Amino acid sequence: MDPEEFVLVRDMVGSLATRFAVTSADEVNPSTRTAAQQALDDMGLTDLRRSSPPAATAQECVLLAEEHGRRPLTTSLLGTVLLAPELLRLLGDDTSAGTPTVALTRELRFPGQAPTDLVAWDSEGADSALCVTADGTVNRVGLGPAAPSTDLVRAVRAVPSDAPVEVVGRLAVADQLRWQAYALVVVTAELVGAAGSFVEQAVQYARDRRQYGQSIGSFQAVQHLLADATVLVEACTSVTRYAAWCLDNEPPERALAAARVAKAEVNSSALEAVYAGMQVLGGIAQTWEHIAHLYLRKVRLGATLLATTADLLPALAVPEVTR
C-alpha cells in the first residue's frame, strides 16, 4: 500500500471512530453495534492481508489497530478484520466463506492442545471463530450466546461445548510463530492507542478544570502525574512500533521475541498511564456516565489478554539461540 493510500485508510478508521464511538456505557446496545460494524464492513478492510503479497504491511495493520483503540468502539476490527484473515492467509486458504473471528480460552489466552472451553473474542459481526491449538492446528468452531466481559464495549461470545469442530488446516512452525507475534502486537497496539488517547483527554481536562481560581494543570503534582503518564505512553508506542517493524523485517523467532517484549511493557505501562489519568480526572472518572471507565476496562482486560507480563517474562529470559 503506498503512503497516500494508507493515510486514506487510516483516516477512514479515524472517521469511523468519530461517527460511532460511544460516549457512555448506556450507548452500547444492539442497534449501535450493528450500525458501527456495518460501516466497518463496508470499508472492505478484510482484504488488507489476504492477497499475495499482502496489500498492507503488518506495520500498517498495527497502526490501524492503534487508531481503533483511541476511542471506545463496538466494532470488531481486531478479531474479524485483522487477526482471523491473517490466519487464513498463513494457511493459504482463499476459499473460506463467512466472517470468522478468533477463539481464545475462557481466560482469553492462546488455546492449548484441545479446543475446549473457548470464547469467540471480538466477535461483533462474526459467524464463526478460528482456534489455533498448541501444535498449530486451526479449527473452525461455531458461536453461542454472548459471554460476560470486563470490557463493556467489545463483543465476546461463548463457544458451545458441543459445537462442531471443522479442521481448516495446520500452520507450519514458522507461520505459527508469526501468527503469535502478529496477534500480540495487534492487541498491544490497540492498548497503546487507548492509553495515549486517555492521557490526552486527561491533559485537556487539566487545562479546563479550575480549582482555587486557577487551572488544575498549573499544580505541580498534576503536572508530574501527566508528564510521567506521557513518558509511559511514548515508551509503549516506541516498543510496539519496533515490534511491528520486526513482523515485516525479521525472522519469526525475532519477531515473536520483540512482540513479547512489547506486550510485557505495555501491560504494565499502559495501565499505569491510565491510572494516572484517572487520578487527574478525579471523582467524575468514577461515575458510570463518564467515559473514563470504558478506557480503564479496555486496558485492564488488555493487560491480561493473550499473555500477561508474568506469562511472558520466563520466555524472554531464555537465551536466544544463534545459528
**What DSSP string runs through 58-84?**
HHHHHHHHHHHTTS-----IIIIIIIH
* pLDDT score at 43: 92
Alpha-carbon span 70 to 87, nearest angstrom: 25
Q: Looking at the whole model, is its pTM more than 0.85?
A: yes
Which one, of 186, 185, 193, 189, lies nearest residue 243 by Cα?
A: 185
108, pLDDT greater than 80: yes
Which one, of 183, 184, 189, lies nearest residue 67 by Cα?
A: 189
Task: List the chain domain ranges.
Answer: 3-171, 175-317
Read off the C-alpha cell for 43. Answer: 470499508
CB 17 within 8 A of CB 67: yes
Compute the average pLDDT of residues 6-33: 92
Lowest mean pLDDT among 20-34, 40-54, 218-232: 40-54
Q: CATH assignment of 175-317?
A: 1.20.140.10
Compute the average pLDDT of residues 188-216: 95
pLDDT band for position 51 (cuts 50, 70, 90): confident
* pLDDT score at 322: 53
In Å, what is the CA distance from 207 to each residue of 35, 216, 218, 254? 34, 7, 8, 43
